[in-house]
Structure 1
Amino acid sequence: MPYKDDQIILIIVTGTALLLLLGFFMVGFLLLFQKKQNKNRIEKVELQASFKQELLKTRIEIQEETLNYVSRELHDNITQVLSFIKLNLGLLGNKLPDPEKTKLNDNRELVAQTITDLRNLSKSLSFEHISALGLVKTLELEAIRINKSGLINMELSVDGEAYSLGEQRELVLFRIFQEALNNALKHADAANLKIGLYYNTQMFNLTIQDDGVGFQPELLNDKSGSGLRNMTNRAGLIGAEAVISSSPKQGCTIKLSLNPLVQEIYANGTHSNSPG
């Protein structure tokens, strides 16, 4: 009888052990399956984010190519035609009596001013021009051009010792400025635009502030706020964080923060953007 009891106990113990092993196996399998699912989910999200980033990058590159083409057309063709018209007006003026000559010279001066404005506009569209001058100098020239136009008063301030952020980063920052300027003129009806650049070895900040009519924060998620989303998307490409704040009749403020030591996604593998 004791022998049979021992057999029963052995069977029970063995069965229990097998059930525990089976349970551990099932739990381990489920955990492994869950881990693989999570990994696949993360990889899918990363692939989607990477695809969106590459799509945005490609779109911006196409925009830059278009702007460079327009810049070349303005500089090489349209300004050349206007220069020819200006020359002909000068030759024609020599054959006219003084009253008509004065009127013609006035028109000739308007053509000359148009040529100058188009050349300045051409430079602001050209990547090569921005790359050669750098962000600070380009913004200084833009401030002079914009203030001369009388459309809006632009004030630029630079805090800290300026250094190169890299060609691609500075181009993207300048395009963000142009988008903000366009919004201030087209939508905000602003009279003043303040641009602040802050340079530090650990952080770069760009602040763009207008005194326009402002907008509801919900516009950032609306289709009509595509210009605002463009700025945040462009900022993301260079590893910058963009914060846009506004309220009706309070103007709009755009703050971009960028760690100059962090390599941006937009980069092409070569960098000369270490702070000096």
Structure 2
Amino acid sequence: MLFKDEQVILIIIAGTALLLLLGFFMVGFLLMFQKKQNKNAMEKAELKSSFKQELLKTRIEIQEETLNYVSREMHDNITQVLSFVKLNMGLLANKLTDEQKVKLNDSRELIAQTITDLRNLSKSLSFEHINALGLVKTLELEAIRVNKSGLINMDLNVEGEMYSLGEQRELVLFRIFQEALNNALKHADAANIKIGLYYNAQMFNLTIEDDGAGFQPELLTDKSGSGLRNMKNRAGLIGAEAVITSSLKQGCTIKLSLNPLVEENYANETHSNSPGR
């Protein structure tokens, strides 16, 4: 009788041990399955993010190629044609009356001013021009061009000891400025725009402020705010953080922060395919 009781106890212990092992196995399997699911989800998210980054890089490179092409066409073709027209108009002066000569000279001056404006505009579109001058000098020339146009008053302030941020970074920052200027003119109807560049050893900051109509913060997530999202995406490509704030009738402020000590991955990855090179 005692032997049978011992057998029953052993069977119970063995069964309990098997159930515990089965339980541990099930828990382990579920944990492994969940871990694999999480890993797959992370890999999928990384692939999606990488694809978006590559797509954005490609789009920006195509835009730069297009801008360079337009710049060359404006400089090499359109300005040459206008210069030829101006020259021909000068040759006609001897055959005109004094009153007609005055009108002709006025027209020639307008053409000359148009040629100058087109050349300046073509430079602002050219990657080579921005690369050669650097960010600060390019912005200084843009301030002169914009203020001469009378469309908006641009104030540029530079603080700290200037240093190069790298070709691609400075190009992207300048394109963000151009996007912000376009928004201030086209959508915000701003009268003034302030650009601030702040250099120190640990951090570079670019601030763009306008006194335009402003917008609701929800626009940043709306399809109609693609230009604003484009600025944030461009900033992300060069490792910069972009903060855009605005409210109705309070203008818009764009603040970009960039650590100059962090390796310029975007520039390294795209240097061999840089526009205009």
Per the alignment, residue 249 of structure 1 pairs with: 249
Amino acid at match of 2:202: Q
Question: What is aligned with 1:144?
Answer: 144
Following superposition, the deviation at residue 116 of structure 1 comes to 0.3
Residue 175 (structure 1) shift: 0.6
SS in 1 for 2:234: helix
Amino acid at match of 1:109: E
Match of 1:239 in 2: 239
Give the aligned partner of residue 87 of structure 1.
87
Cα shift at 1:20: 1.2
Counterpart Cα distance in 2 of 1:249 and 1:193 = 15
Cα distance, 1:150 vs structure 2: 0.7
Map of 2:61 onto structure 1: 61
Q: Cα 1:58–1:269, aligned 2, differ >3 Å: closer, same or farther?
A: closer
Equivalent residue, structure 2, for 1:274: none
Deviates more, 1:77-86 or 1:258-267: 258-267
CA distance in structure 2 between the aligned counterparts of 1:254 and 1:265, rounded to whole angstroms: 23
Aligned mates of 2:216, 2:38 — CA distance in 1: 38
Distance in 1, matches of 2:132 and 2:12, equals: 84
**1:179-211 CA distance string (max 9 Å, x none):** 110111111111110000011111111100001
Map 1:175-190; keep pairs closer than 5 Å. Answer: 175-190=175-190
SS in 1 for 2:195: strand
| Alpha-carbon distance, 1:100 to partner | 2.1
Which residue in the other structure is 1:70 paired with?
A: 70
In the TM superposition, residue 269 of structure 1 has moved relative to its aligned partner by: 4.1
Point out the more displaced range, 37-46 or 211-220: 211-220
Q: CA deviation at 1:265?
A: 4.7
Q: 1:250 aligns to what SS in structure 2?
A: coil
> Can you list the C-alpha shifts for 1:124-152, whole angstroms capped at 9, x where unaligned?
00011111111000000000011111111
Task: Verify the 8 A CA contact 1:237 1:264 in the aligned structure 2.
Answer: no
Secondary structure of the corresponding residue to residue 164 of structure 1: coil
Q: Tell me if the contact between 1:204 and 1:260 (Cα under 8 Å) persists in the aligned partners.
A: yes
Q: SS in structure 2 opposite 1:67?
A: helix
Contact 1:179 1:227 in 2 (8 A): yes
CA contact 1:188–1:251 (8 Å) conserved in 2: yes
Please give the per-residue CA displacement for 1:102-123, whole angstroms capped at 9, x wherever unaligned. Answer: 2211111111110000000000
Q: Which AA in structure 1 matches 2:167?
A: E
The residue that corresponds to 2:15 in the other structure is 15
- 1:164 maps onto 2:164 in alignment: yes
Q: Which moved more, 1:52-61 or 1:190-199?
A: 52-61
Count of paired positions:
271
Match status 1:135 vs 2:135: yes
Distance in 1, Cα, partners of 2:114 & 2:52: 41
Give the letter aligned to residue 162 of structure 2. A
Q: Gaps (5+ residues) in structure 1? A: 272-276
Kindly state the Cα deviation for residue 169 of structure 1 after the two structures are TM-superposed.
Answer: 0.8
Alpha carbons 2:167, 2:267 under 8 Å: kept? no
Pick closer, same or farther for the CA change 1:106–1:63 going to 2, 3 Å: same
Q: Describe the SS at the equivalent of 1:188.
A: coil
User: Identical aligned pairs, as a percentage?
Assistant: 86
Match of 1:198 in 2: 198
Aligned-partner Cα distance in 2 for 1:106–1:216: 46
User: How much has 1:6 moved relative to structure 2?
Assistant: 2.0
Q: What amino acid sits opposite 1:230 in the alignment?
A: N
Distance 2:57 2:28 in 1: 43
How many Å separate the matches in 1 of 2:6 and 2:34? 41
Give me the TM-score of the superposition, normalised by structure 1: 0.94
Does the alignment pair 1:230 with 2:230? yes
- Deviation track 1:230-265 (CA, whole Å, cap 9, x = no partner) reads 111111111111111111111111111111122345
Equivalent-residue separation in structure 2 for 1:4 and 1:219 (angstroms): 80
Gaps of 5+ in 2: 272-277
2-11 vs 26-35, which moves further: 2-11
| 1:58-91 Cα shifts (integer Å, max 9, x gaps) | 1111111111110010001000001111111122
TM-score (norm: length of structure 2): 0.94
